[in-house]
């Protein structure tokens, strides 16, 4: 079964009521992107979870802060976010594969850290690696497949649509979240286009089970719920 939602972010605790209290669609909760903005809310994650639960909004997944997966600090902040997810009864946490000196040591450290969390949470929480291209990412999309890691497939981060189709066809079982948006020549995370709709159709026809999250640039946020409802309707018609 596919669940549809939108990305909903915040940068400080004061924004939470405004962003979540009247939200009537499921959401991926995006923690502050930058480490320096995330730091002040770290001690308040429990309070934030209780506040969000009081609004009765369905949280599909957590989008983590951007921070390295390649050092011991990941075991500290990763556990904090995993415990935050558990407070919200959320299983999936999307991680960014950080830029690093691409070598075997750094990659092995990231894999070791991910295995540590697998042992710690026994599948109660799943860390999913988002697709980014670039030679310095600790895991590029092909390496996410190579190491059989849970994948968050972002359709705007991969320029070649044929590559996206390839990943869908060879790795469908390990894709647990799709971040869905279109891309232009100079912009990413644009409102969905026909290619995005074709991706949803393919996943629906192949009985894929996971979350599809619309992720748009701020100037297009007013279209999120309209596009979400349209996708939901198309999906229902195909069932």
The alpha carbon of 12 is separated from its chain's Cα centroid by a whole number of angstroms, namely: 20
Whether the CB-CB separation of 102 and 138 falls below 8 Å is answered with yes
Distance CA 212, CA 154 (A): 10
Is-above-0.85 flag for pTM?
yes
Q: Which long-range contacts (CB under 8 A, 24 or more apart) does 107-112 make?
A: 107/70, 107/138, 107/139, 107/143, 109/70, 109/71, 110/69, 110/70, 110/74, 110/138, 110/139, 111/147
Mean pLDDT to the nearest integer, 24-31: 97
Can you read off the two tokens belonging to residue 149?
């890691």
**Domains with residue ranges and CATH for the chain:** 2-238 (3.20.20.150)
Query: In 27-72, which ranges are continuous DSSP H helix?
Result: 35-38, 45-54
Place 239 in a pLDDT band, splitting at 50, 70 and 90: low
127-162 per-position pLDDT tens digit: 999 999 988 999 999 999 999 999 999 999 999 999
Whether the CB-CB separation of 138 and 97 falls below 8 Å is answered with yes
Can you read off the two tokens belonging to residue 89?
């009864």
Place 216 in a pLDDT band, splitting at 50, 70 and 90: very high
pLDDT on residue 126: 98
């Amino acid at each position: 079964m596919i669940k549809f939602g939108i990305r909903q972010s915040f940068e400080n605790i004061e924004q939470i009521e405004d962003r979540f209290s009247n939200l009537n669609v499921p959401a991926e909760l995006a923690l502050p992107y930058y480490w320096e903005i995330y730091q002040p809310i770290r001690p308040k994650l429990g309070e934030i979870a209780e506040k969000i639960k009081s609004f009765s909004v369905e949280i599909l997944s957590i989008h983590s802060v951007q921070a390295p997966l390649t050092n011991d600090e990941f075991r500290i902040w990763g556990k904090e976010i995993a415990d935050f997810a558990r407070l919200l009864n959320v299983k999936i946490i999307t991680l960014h594969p950080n830029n690093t000196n691409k070598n075997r040591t750094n990659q092995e450290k990231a894999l070791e850290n991910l295995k540590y969390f697998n042992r710690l949470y026994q599948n109660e929480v799943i860390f999913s690696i988002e697709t980014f291209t670039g030679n310095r990412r600790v895991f590029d999309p092909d390496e996410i497949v190579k190491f059989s890691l849970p994948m968050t497939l972002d359709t705007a981060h991969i320029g070649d649509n044929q590559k996206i189709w390839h990943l869908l066809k060879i790795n469908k079982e390990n894709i647990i979240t799709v971040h869905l948006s279109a891309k232009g020549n100079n912009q990413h995370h644009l409102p969905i286009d026909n290619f995005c709709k074709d991706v949803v159709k393919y996943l629906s026809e192949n009985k894929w089970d996971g979350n599809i999250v619309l992720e748009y640039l701020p100037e297009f946020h007013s279209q999120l719920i309209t596009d979400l409802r349209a996708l939901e309707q198309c999906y229902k018609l195909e069932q």
